[in-house]
Chains A and B, each alone.
Chain A
Amino acid sequence: MDDSRSFDAYDSEPAPAQLDDIMQKIAEHKGCGTSGGSGKASCGSGAGAGDMPAEIWEKVKNHPCYSEEAHHHYARMHVAVAPACNIQCNYCNRKYDCANESRPGVVSEKLTPEQAAKKVLAVASAIPQMTVLGIAGPGDPLANPGKTFKTFELISEAAPDIKLCLSTNGLALPDHVETIKKFNVDHVTITINMTDPDIGAEIYPWVFWKHKRVTGKEAAKILTDRQLQGLEMLTANGILCKVNSVMIPGVNDDHLVTVNREVKSRGAFLHNIMPLISSPEHGTVFGLNGQRGPSAQELKALQDSCEGEMNMMRHCRQCRADAVGLLGEDRSAEFTTDKIMEMEVNYDLSARQAYQEKVEEERLAKVAARNAELESLAGENADLKILVAVATKGSGRINEHFGHATEFQIYELSSDGAKFVGHRRVDLYCQGGYGEDDALETVIRAINDCTAVFVAKIGHCPKDDLIKAGIDPVDQYAYEFIEQSAISYFKDYLARVKSGEITHVTRGDADIRQGAYVPVNA
Chain B
Amino acid sequence: MTYKIVASQCTSCSACEAECPNVAISEKNGTFVINPKKCTECIGYFDVPQCVAVCPVDNTCIIDTSYPRYQPSA
**Chain A interface residues toward B at CB < 8 A:** 83-86, 88, 94-95, 110, 138-139, 143-144, 208, 211-213
Contact = CB atoms under 8 A, between A and B. Distances in A.
B11 A86 contact: no
Contacts of A213: 48, 53-54
A139 B50 contact: no
Nearest to B30: A110
Contacts of A143: 15, 18
B53 A84 contact: no
A83 B54 contact: no
Nearest to A137: B13
A232 B18 CA distance: 28
B43 to A, nearest CB: 14
Given A86-B54, A208-B54, A213-B53, A139 B46 contact: no
A88 B13 CA distance: 13
B53 A94 contact: no
B47 A95 contact: no
22 contacts: A83-B14, A83-B15, A84-B13, A84-B15, A84-B18, A85-B13, A85-B56, A88-B56, A94-B11, A94-B13, A94-B56, A94-B57, A139-B15, A144-B14, A208-B15, A208-B19, A208-B54, A211-B19, A211-B46, A211-B53, A213-B48, A213-B53
Interface in B33-52: 46-48, 50
A95 B53 contact: no
Interface residues of B, number: 16
Interface class of chain B by DSSP: loop
Contact of B12 (A83, A144, A211): A83
Contacts of B48: 211-213
Contacts of A138: 13
Interface class of chain A by DSSP: loop
Contacts of B12: 83, 110
Given A84-B14, A208-B15, A211-B50, 11 more contacts: A83-B14, A83-B15, A84-B15, A86-B15, A95-B57, A110-B12, A138-B13, A143-B15, A211-B53, A212-B53, A213-B53
A288 B5 CA distance: 25
Contact of A95 (B11, B19, B50, B54): B11
Contacts, number: 47
Interchain residue pairs A-B with the least CB separation, the first 6? A84-B15, A213-B53, A83-B13, A94-B56, A208-B54, A211-B46
Interface string B1-28: 0000000000111110111000000000
Contacts of A95: 11, 57
A143 B18 CA distance: 9
Given A84-B18, A213-B48, A208 B53 contact: yes
Nearest to A94: B56
Nearest to A143: B15
A390 to B, nearest CB: 38
A139 B54 CA distance: 12
Considering residues B14, B19, B48, B56, which has the most beta carbons from chain A within 10 angstroms of its beta carbon? B56
Given A95-B57, A213-B53, A85 B47 contact: no
Contacts of B18: 84, 143-144
A68 to B, nearest CB: 33
A211 B18 CA distance: 12
A289 to B, nearest CB: 16
Contacts of B47: 211-212
Contacts of B50: 211
